[in-house]
Structure 1
């Protein structure tokens, strides 16, 4: 058993045995990612006890912050009472309670909830429900899914097939799935002289033309993140999502907002789709924030209308950890904290400040764009004369030295801090980011 802060032993075990996500096989065992030894509030502890602001909230998920004793106690009590039950032929009170609690905050008539343990499997499970829905209705050729370039939906085969990121598709056999990609709603792609309204019209025309080209009778669903998170916090033009929803409804195409990242508070709402963007979907995915990262739990919610149309069918899909009682006990406790401490209201109150502080970085030479919605933000950089340089990881290295973790994405720094962050902590975070960008800029003089 390693001591908590035995960094040398942890690094040695990592080099010898651990494969981490997105690991470069060529350097396996040579490079060890920073070791985290503890966490509290919005901070994590790195090697040598360094306190770091957790800029991306782990992986978009530490909504209520780390070190909540009441959450840990609830998990421990549930583990002692009922640590596991098979979801195939039993159920538990935590699973029933959580499903009811989530259904109370979902948009429209999305009153039934399916639970699993990873964002990828939530998307995968929702897509399987789409397949069931179309096939039970006798529309066996209605199997194409519309998605968007730059989107990310997961690492299972089906969810990866829907991801428009080249890095997610390279070297895997995902091109065999029936998916058609549309243009991402990134304002940096605007041609010269085209307004944001004009770009929105272009995107909607592209959607209508794609439906005409493929045939509405061949298209099963449209899946899209309300805000493309891993793609760089791409915020769609005003009105775009509402029009997409209407076009899908007119063509009998199911609409799936993929809210693995945006659900449970990052945009100041339980679900961004209805409260922020004004749309009521057919089904919706969620993950990450539902337990504030304390234990894996995700799922999707589906409308009564969809279920009523396939009432005679069997949804033959499930996972060993669907409705895991310890995870399901954690979800309501995290939601209770979001409610009792008025954290969603806090996000809505502090989000303009977060955006304004990030926007101040636009005065820096290499900062190309700043995007933010709620407590989701991205600073996109470009080194003059070296537009393709992957500057994000370089900025992150400097920021870690200064006391901040950012989520680097090639030429971007992405942040989604714990929702309990204060104005002073935002000042600290943006101040460190500014210095990190300055230090990285000094390595690439014009």
Structure 2
């Protein structure tokens, strides 16, 4: 799938090296592995089109991760660029503080309310997913303060959850390695077990496992006291924590416990919203949930410009929208809340999704991706293939019978991703996992090509693991 460009190789190499040096010397990347970065630096992605991205040397790759869960409508959509340019030249920015607004923010708010579950009619804009989750927690605490329950502060999250990297969002995140040597606000958060059907206790049925997880929540409520718990936050399907799909009935039973104990439900749809599971929002239509707050980002603008949002229920807004007192204000927000260029991009993104029926495309093609990826389980290292529609994960193991993992130094997820990239496909390695979250415009022919690349990649990795003494 890779190809060389027709530009002069010497000039291209010189330019690439100059950019590589600048990047290595000055850009602190998110989640940098400094054990290799100082020597290897980064591959430079310079161009994109549709389902493809190209590096600065002209090598072309299938984008198997949609940028990072987000480029849902695909790369290079001129319509979105034009909408951003038109808004930027008309009025790029003005404050939304002090009773001021702009047309795209107002239009997008109404559009999101029309797409979301019927009770979520009020939108608080942020700059991304982390800040959306921070805002959700801050508003929840504020809500309970306002109704005379200031002791309700604890947020229940889950191990291996990913909710972001700002201070509060990082604390909500239950992936231990994400917070090594970083401080967190531990007194505010309590963690339940993740819903990991692949690694449930041996001999336990899926139904019994669901009982076990719900029972753990019941016990935690008793231990902490319902009067001290403000909210439970969950991803409908865990993303960076391993694309973990909960057992049937889990979501509605956890919601029922929240309702019984006056615990608000925050559903983090930063990944699952805007088509990845075949709907603009998956909470209600896929999982039967009626959250008090939905947070979203990523696919909201298809990653063309930073934008996040917290969708707030009518019942919460009834309190939030009531003045604290004479001259009282809701004293939180961001300079860029409801940024007009970002909102214009999101409106055009949603227009494209609706016009091209991309949610319907996922409902049709998503099961095909699931089925074809499962054919890779014949490889010695592929222990599990899981997920839903265009949100998939392959878990690599040393022993399929026991689920035992390969040692960290085997770098199995990295090996698979490297082999795939050599064959023209970019996928995401996360430890022993490989995550696939493509643009929503893939079709069956592309899926067949991707699975063929992965098939060859896993074969090569098995041989290299044997050669290096890991198998």
TM-score normalised by L of structure 2: 0.92
2:412 corresponds to? 391
Report the 3-state secondary structure (helix = DSSP H, G, I; strand = E; otherwise coil) of the residue aligned with 1:181. strand
Say which of 64, 80, 85 aligns to 1:76. 85
Taking the aligned partners of 1:99 and 1:160, their CA distance within structure 2 comes to 27
- Contact 2:93–2:339 (CA under 8 A) maintained in structure 1: yes
Say which of 417, 420, 437 aligns to 1:416. 437
What are the equivalent positions in structure 2 for 1:332-351 lying under 5 Å apart? 332-351=347-366
2:318 corresponds to? 308
**Structure 1 residue 24 displacement after superposition:** 3.7
Report the 3-state secondary structure (helix = DSSP H, G, I; strand = E; otherwise coil) of the residue aligned with 1:365. coil
- Contact 1:263–1:270 (CA under 8 A) maintained in structure 2: yes
1:234 corresponds to? 244
Q: Bigger shift: 245-254 or 307-316?
A: 307-316
Taking the aligned partners of 2:286 and 2:249, their CA distance within structure 1 comes to 11
Taking the aligned partners of 1:232 and 1:4, their CA distance within structure 2 comes to 38
What are the equivalent positions in structure 2 for 1:219-368 lying under 5 Å apart? 219-310=229-320, 311-313=322-324, 314-368=329-383
Taking the aligned partners of 2:236 and 2:126, their CA distance within structure 1 comes to 22
What are the equivalent positions in structure 2 for 1:365-376 lying under 5 Å apart? 365-376=380-391
Report the 3-state secondary structure (helix = DSSP H, G, I; strand = E; otherwise coil) of the residue aligned with 2:438. coil
Say which of 178, 202, 206 aligns to 1:168. 178
- Contact 2:382–2:396 (CA under 8 A) maintained in structure 1: yes
Which ranges of structure 2 fall in alignment gaps of 5 or more residues? 1-10
**Structure 1 residue 25 displacement after superposition:** 4.5
The root-mean-square deviation of aligned C-alpha atoms, in Å, is 1.5
Taking the aligned partners of 1:386 and 1:248, their CA distance within structure 2 comes to 35
- Contact 1:115–1:122 (CA under 8 A) maintained in structure 2: yes
1:437 corresponds to? 458
Taking the aligned partners of 1:135 and 1:398, their CA distance within structure 2 comes to 53
Residues 1:212 and 1:4: Cα distance change in structure 2 (over 3 Å):
farther
Matched positions, count = 444
TM-score normalised by L of structure 1: 0.97
- Contact 1:267–1:348 (CA under 8 A) maintained in structure 2: yes
2:5 corresponds to? none
Runs of 4+ aligned residues of structure 1 deviating over 6 Å after TM superposition are: none
Residues 1:271 and 1:4: Cα distance change in structure 2 (over 3 Å):
farther
Taking the aligned partners of 1:318 and 1:301, their CA distance within structure 2 comes to 14
**Structure 1 residue 28 displacement after superposition:** 5.1
Report the 3-state secondary structure (helix = DSSP H, G, I; strand = E; otherwise coil) of the residue aligned with 1:413. strand
Taking the aligned partners of 1:222 and 1:240, their CA distance within structure 2 comes to 13
Q: Tell whether 2:66 aligns with 1:51.
A: no
**Structure 1 residue 47 displacement after superposition:** 3.8
Q: Tell whether 2:26 aligns with 1:17.
A: yes
Residues 1:53 and 1:205: Cα distance change in structure 2 (over 3 Å):
same
- Contact 1:113–1:302 (CA under 8 A) maintained in structure 2: yes
**Structure 1 residue 191 displacement after superposition:** 1.4
**Structure 1 residue 435 displacement after superposition:** 1.4
2:7 corresponds to? none
- Contact 2:24–2:42 (CA under 8 A) maintained in structure 1: no
**Structure 1 residue 172 displacement after superposition:** 1.3
Taking the aligned partners of 1:378 and 1:137, their CA distance within structure 2 comes to 42
**Structure 1 residue 49 displacement after superposition:** 1.1
Taking the aligned partners of 2:453 and 2:252, their CA distance within structure 1 comes to 37
- Contact 2:162–2:241 (CA under 8 A) maintained in structure 1: yes
Say which of 209, 213, 222 aligns to 1:212. 222
**Structure 1 residue 175 displacement after superposition:** 4.5
Q: Bigger shift: 192-201 or 85-94?
A: 85-94
**Structure 1 residue 132 displacement after superposition:** 0.3
**Structure 1 residue 12 displacement after superposition:** 1.3
**Residues 245-288 of structure 1: CA deviation (Å, up to 9, x unaligned):** 11101100000010011111100001111111111110110000
Q: Bigger shift: 137-146 or 386-395?
A: 386-395
Residues 1:387 and 1:55: Cα distance change in structure 2 (over 3 Å):
same
Residues 1:104 and 1:367: Cα distance change in structure 2 (over 3 Å):
same
Taking the aligned partners of 2:366 and 2:119, their CA distance within structure 1 comes to 29
2:6 corresponds to? none
Report the 3-state secondary structure (helix = DSSP H, G, I; strand = E; otherwise coil) of the residue aligned with 2:39. coil
Report the 3-state secondary structure (helix = DSSP H, G, I; strand = E; otherwise coil) of the residue aligned with 1:49. coil
Taking the aligned partners of 1:383 and 1:247, their CA distance within structure 2 comes to 38
